[in-house]
């Protein structure tokens, strides 16, 4: 009679081993499930593209987001890099129609996690998308050729004023046009709008102060004729009502508070605007 010295494992032991293997498999998947960096997963955030924070905007809007070579840089980019770094991922910026960023269509279609673009916080946008705490104050300004005789909107009666589509500047100009009697000409992006002032296609243009003062610095044949105190504030966007979108906004708000307290925000602001922000 042959005696087997190696006993077969019991069914209970096999079951225990199977459970252990399954647990290891699940754990391994959790560390590389394509949802983003470790911090993102720990906070229960699922990113639309594996391992990166994808941000939608409409280029170019200098100095907030624009291309230098193949890389997108700018004030907004640097601020959202704080979030990407905290999540343990890289930020990737894609350029799409601006209306998709402000309406929430881009997040519904899972094109991106966040939206940026010197976006003014408005009640209609707050109804459609999740928006961060304000990160910068803004106003509308009037761009003209240097020496042009337009010091106010009333001086532009019968003239053409360029605006950018889907912006609060367009809303402001459209409302003023009824009173001051000028024609509103809509352009799809900032570059077309501002260069149309230089070429004489329009007599003036209305857009955000940060973008137009930056344009004047690089184009001394233009100037800002006047400012309109519209009391605007910028925010970043994400998908409203979505757990990951809401958590991204919440996390950015925490990082913004920290950046303002430890000087990081002032450093980034001065990098792009040449001065420190008003207190």
SS (H, E, C) 216-240: HHHCCCEEEEEEEEEEEEECCEECC
Phi, psi dihedrals of residue 32, rounded to the nearest 5°? -150, 55
The answer on 224 and 155 residing in a single domain is yes
- Give how many domains the chain has, as a whole number: 2
Q: Domain containing 183 — which CATH number?
A: 3.40.190.10
Quick one: DSSP state of residue 166?
T
CA distance 272 to 149: 30
How is residue 236 written in tokens?
């970043």
Domain that holds residue 223: 138-232
Find the mean pLDDT for residues 7-36: 39
Question: Is residue 4 in some structural domain?
Answer: no
The answer on 220 and 151 residing in a single domain is yes
Q: How confident is the model at residue 11, as a pLDDT?
A: 42
Q: How confident is the model at residue 271, as a pLDDT?
A: 97
Question: Is residue 36 in some structural domain?
Answer: no
The answer on 176 and 130 residing in a single domain is no
The answer on 223 and 142 residing in a single domain is yes
CA distance 121 to 69: 30
Question: Is residue 10 in some structural domain?
Answer: no
The answer on pLDDT for 2 being more than 60 is no
The answer on 185 and 64 residing in a single domain is no
Cα–chain center distance at 279:
23
The answer on pLDDT for 8 being more than 70 is no
Question: Is residue 65 in some structural domain?
Answer: yes
Q: How confident is the model at residue 246, as a pLDDT?
A: 96
pTM of the model: 0.80
The answer on pLDDT for 262 being more than 80 is yes
Q: Is 149 exposed, middle or buried (0-12, 13-18, 19+ CB in 10 A)?
A: exposed
Range of lowest pLDDT (21-25, 72-76, 186-190): 21-25
Q: Please report, in angstroms and rounded to a whole number, the separation of the first and last CA atoms in the chain.
A: 94
The answer on 249 and 130 residing in a single domain is yes
How is residue 130 written in tokens?
């999740």
Percent of the chain whose pLDDT exceeds 90:
82
Question: Is residue 207 in some structural domain?
Answer: yes
Count of helices and strands (H, E) across the chain: 11, 12
Question: Is residue 28 in some structural domain?
Answer: no
pLDDT digits (tens, 9 = 90+) for 105-141: 999 999 999 999 999 999 999 999 999 999 999 999 9
The answer on 238 and 128 residing in a single domain is yes
Quick one: DSSP state of residue 56?
E
The answer on pLDDT for 14 being more than 60 is no
């Amino acid at each position: 009679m042959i005696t087997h010295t190696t006993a077969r494992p019991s069914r209970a032991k096999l079951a225990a081993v199977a459970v252990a293997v399954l647990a290891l498999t699940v754990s391994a998947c959790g560390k590389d499930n394509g949802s983003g960096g470790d911090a993102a997963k720990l906070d229960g955030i699922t990113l639309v593209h594996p391992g990166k924070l994808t941000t939608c905007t409409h280029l170019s809007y200098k100095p907030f987001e624009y291309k230098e070579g193949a890389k997108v840089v700018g004030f907004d980019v640097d601020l959202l890099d704080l979030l990407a770094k905290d999540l343990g991922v890289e930020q990737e910026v894609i350029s799409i129609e601006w209306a998709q960023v402000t309406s929430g269509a881009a997040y519904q279609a899972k094109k991106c996690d966040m939206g940026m673009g010197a976006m003014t916080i408005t009640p209609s946008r707050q109804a459609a998308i999740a928006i961060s705490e304000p990160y910068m104050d803004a106003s509308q300004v009037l761009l003209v050729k240097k020496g042009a005789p337009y010091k106010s909107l009333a001086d532009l009666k019968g003239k053409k004023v360029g605006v950018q589509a889907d912006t609060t500047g367009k809303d402001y100009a459209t409302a003023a046009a009824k009173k001051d009697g000028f024609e509103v000409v809509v352009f799809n992006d900032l570059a077309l709008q501002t260069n149309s002032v230089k070429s004489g296609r329009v007599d003036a243009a209305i857009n955000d102060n940060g973008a137009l003062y930056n344009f004047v610095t690089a184009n001394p044949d233009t100037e800002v004729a006047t400012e309109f105190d519209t009391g605007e504030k910028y925010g970043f966007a994400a998908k409203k009502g979505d757990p990951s979108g809401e958590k991204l906004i919440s996390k950015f708000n925490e990082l913004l508070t920290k950046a303002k307290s430890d000087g990081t925000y002032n450093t980034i602001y001065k990098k792009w605007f040449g001065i420190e922000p008003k207190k």
